[in-house]
Structure 1
Amino acid sequence: MQAVAYARLRRASAPERAGLDGAVLAALAEEAEGLAGDWAPGVVVVAGRGQYVALEHAAGWALRYSAWDPEAGRGVELPAERRLPMRTDTVFDLASLTKLYTAIAVLQQQERGTLDLDSPVAAYRDSATPPPADGSAAARGATLRHLLTHTSGLRPELPLYDLPPQRRRGRVRDEAPLEQPGTAPYRYSDLNLLLVQDVLTSVTSRTLDALVADGITRPLGLADTCFRPPRGLRRRIAATEDQRLPWAKADRGLLHGAVHDENAHALGGVAGHAGLFACACDLAVVCRTLLSGGAYGSARILAPSSVAQLLAPPGLGFQVDQPWFMGELAGPLSGGRAAGHTGFTGTSVVLDPETDTFLVVLANTVHPVRRGPDSAPRARLGTLLARAVRS
């Protein structure tokens, strides 16, 4: 793991300056153009290597529709003057990329000695939290490592949005795993990160948004990364879904600047699994920070040993060596070390310690309505970046 810190990312005067093939990067930008309007109304791609951002490209629309027409099976288009074009600084609902920031916050607390990845999460219950229910993940010995590697045995999600507010957190804490934590197969679950959030709150007496702001976004200067974005930022935010029953889980109308995930919304917009908003350049700084061993300029948010724990297979919060969304950035080129994540709203990030490359893909695939998962476009973009790498 590299330990070199750069004062800031620089924009390469030419892709070759970053050790990347310009013709292949041009093909990557052309591929992104083709995705806008097909895979999503709009797309932003940022790619780089080392200290250089070699490609920033925006295509399509951040806001194109006012609603979804279920009878016609298409979106209701806004007049041209009311649409918002996609820009490289457009802010997106990151969805499950939030999990990466929650995982970083855990490793920061481990460095401070306030928690241990392999201690039972039940050990971190504060005086205001009831004891874990019999049969719950905590009562059955689940650890933070089980939660961050999705081996707790918990189901993928619960309909917290259907419960009274005072019951939502307790419902997650009381949920029984389907298998014994630690022996369970990998099962991706939002509930894992909600329990991680509870542990962080218990050991710090602080909310997750405060921990992320003080531990990550403020030191790194990420001005556009936040939970619950202010209304003044709305014209730079990519719209998501026209949430209505029966295709969504709630009736909220067109979402533009409000978190898409129904459970994150039910929990006040701040959740361990979803809720963060950010632009692509802010995500590129996070990639550069991790590729530099946890430091960016004069700011250090993690020790190199903590970064190594985050990114070592199978990854803590991060997913490692996943060709289905990384393309050829995974596999032999990276020596199986490429790490990243996807988000339901159309977001993804990949960083490869072996080639020192990173790829941020942000799209509003759920605007104006959700559709079946399709990560093939992400994988194609990852493959093009991999093919652009020069030795």
Structure 2
Amino acid sequence: MSPAPGVPGVPGAPTLRPGSPAEAGLDPGELGRLVRDVRALPDGPRPWCAGAVVLAGRGPVIAVAEAVGWAVRYSGYDEEADAGVEPAPARRVPMTVDTPFDLASLTKLCTTVAVVQQLERGTLALDAPVDRYVPECTGVAAHGITVRDLLTHTSGLRPELPLYELPDRASRWRALRTEEPSAEIGTRLYSDLNMLLLQQVLERVTRRGLDRLIREGITRPLGMSATGFGPRAGAAATEDQRGPWAKADRGMLRGEVHDENAWALGGVAGHAGLFSTAHDLAVLCRTLLSGGSYGTARILGPDHVALMLTAPGLGFAVDEPWFMGELAGRGAAGHTGFTGTSLVLDPATDTFLVLLANTVHPRRRPPDSGPRVRAATALARAAAPRPTGPGTGH
């Protein structure tokens, strides 16, 4: 059995360091294209984002670390002009590579790791019904929904509930526990409710809050000191949250969780609420690519990492070209977040890509994963073997 999550384990797993494309074994021309594309994202009359941070590399080498644009560009949104309200230049806040972001659904990845840690310990069973652990979850109990169903988004639960409309947290959790599937079980239907129910399972089994589980089992042993639930000072701004486009009237948000249900649940939720930096997320990628170890810390064993990352994936999306581009197809895994966040790790090439952006600043727009696809494709091409033989110079 592997060491308990968060306990120092097998030494020697490589830790991240900055380096050149050559040191990473990556094509500098393709990485240059990746960087140029990211630098253009905050430009134009309808920019994709106000600002962004991208980290990419191979093995232990970070070959790209770039910040562009603004962590805070707008003070609000003018609905009549359909444009952001720009403050005096001195009040704008430039983006840096250390800027924390509201991760939105990337939170689900840490919730997943926390669940798989309990699977490894034997305190949870993947195919056990949810109500074995939380009998109050009567909505899923009637249908025999399992921990696996929640992790693979095959529970049939609808994408979300308007928990923020209910008067208090007790009624919000009660609504979640009594919610029944709206689609046939086994049908893949991505749902925030799955991760919220997994939060309930984790907290009941361990008798600890999700924030503590993630801190003690993931972020502290890995040295991810910039990662945690909000509020978070210095974070990139998100949205001027007002009706009719938002579900709550909260004004311009910075350092407060963007997701309305996570906010209504106090900021700690299985589906959203974490803040982090690109470097911390690269550490998580490196840990998983190394089979669960980073330096002298071990948070999972290789078999359980493989269980999580092997198609169809547990919590992680696997081989999804709509945001992974040409990294998809060989077992790449990752996730996206509504606020503009994403990460991809590719065991086949030992590469990782973290792209964080505040695409909802100053307000949400129809989703567009084109920049994610281009960045992932550039990294895939940078990692591709170069041709050899007569006429190639090799």
Amino acid at match of 2:181: P
Give the SS at the match of 1:23: helix
Residue 177 of structure 1 corresponds to 181
Residue 166 of structure 2 corresponds to 163
How far did 1:16 drift? 1.1
1:18/1:49 contact within 8 Å kept: yes
Write out per-residue CA displacement over residues 19-58 of structure 1, whole angstroms, 9 at most, x where no aligned residue.
1011211111100011123210101100000011010011
2:136/2:177 contact within 8 Å kept: no
Write out per-residue CA displacement over residues 222-275 of structure 1, whole angstroms, 9 at most, x where no aligned residue.
110000134xxx23x100000011111000000000000000000000000000
1:1-391 equivalence runs, <5 A: 5-12=12-19, 14-37=20-43, 38-125=47-134, 131-133=136-138, 136-165=139-168, 166-181=170-185, 184-230=186-232, 234-235=233-234, 237-331=235-329, 335=330, 337-391=331-385
Give the SS at the match of 2:325: helix
Change beyond 3 A, Cα 1:368–1:34: same
Change beyond 3 A, Cα 1:143–1:132: same
Write out per-residue CA displacement over residues 206-226 of structure 1, whole angstroms, 9 at most, x where no aligned residue.
100000000000000011000
Give the SS at the match of 2:40: helix
Partner Cα separation in structure 2 for residue 308 and residue 85 of structure 1: 39
Tell me which stretches of 4 or more aligned residues in structure 1 moved more than 2 Å: 3-7, 130-133
Partner Cα separation in structure 2 for residue 201 and residue 138 of structure 1: 18
Partner Cα separation in structure 1 for residue 114 and residue 287 of structure 2: 14
Unaligned regions of 5+ residues in structure 1, if any?
none
Amino acid at match of 1:21: D
1:5/1:289 contact within 8 Å kept: no
Partner Cα separation in structure 2 for residue 92 and residue 16 of structure 1: 30
Partner Cα separation in structure 2 for residue 220 and residue 353 of structure 1: 20
Write out per-residue CA displacement over residues 117-156 of structure 1, whole angstroms, 9 at most, x where no aligned residue.
110010002xxxx6343xx123311111100100000000
Partner Cα separation in structure 2 for residue 27 and residue 4 of structure 1: 36
Amino acid at match of 1:350: V
Write out per-residue CA displacement over residues 44-102 of structure 1, whole angstroms, 9 at most, x where no aligned residue.
10000001101001100010000000001100001111111011111000000000000
How far did 1:5 drift? 4.8
Unaligned regions of 5+ residues in structure 2, if any?
1-9, 386-394
Partner Cα separation in structure 2 for residue 389 and residue 364 of structure 1: 27
Change beyond 3 A, Cα 1:319–1:158: same
1:47/1:360 contact within 8 Å kept: yes
Change beyond 3 A, Cα 1:35–1:105: same
Partner Cα separation in structure 2 for residue 5 and residue 252 of structure 1: 47
Give the SS at the match of 2:33: helix
* Matched residue count: 372
How far did 1:110 drift? 1.1
Partner Cα separation in structure 1 for residue 326 and residue 12 of structure 2: 27
Partner Cα separation in structure 2 for residue 256 and residue 10 of structure 1: 30
Give the SS at the match of 2:75: strand
Residue 391 of structure 2 corresponds to none
Give the SS at the match of 1:35: coil
2:130/2:141 contact within 8 Å kept: yes
Residue 4 of structure 2 corresponds to none
Partner Cα separation in structure 2 for residue 279 and residue 119 of structure 1: 35
How far did 1:180 drift? 4.4
2:239/2:363 contact within 8 Å kept: yes
Partner Cα separation in structure 2 for residue 224 and residue 143 of structure 1: 33
1:19/1:390 contact within 8 Å kept: no
Write out per-residue CA displacement over residues 258-308 of structure 1, whole angstroms, 9 at most, x where no aligned residue.
000000000000000000000000000000000000000000000101100
RMSD: 1.2
Identity within the alignment, %: 62
Write out per-residue CA displacement over residues 327-357 of structure 1, whole angstroms, 9 at most, x where no aligned residue.
10112xxx2x000000000000000001000
Amino acid at match of 1:361: L
1:57/1:88 contact within 8 Å kept: yes
Amino acid at match of 2:177: R
Give the SS at the match of 1:199: helix
TM-score (norm 2): 0.92
Amino acid at match of 2:192: D
Give the SS at the match of 1:59: strand
How far did 1:363 drift? 0.2
Partner Cα separation in structure 2 for residue 43 and residue 180 of structure 1: 39
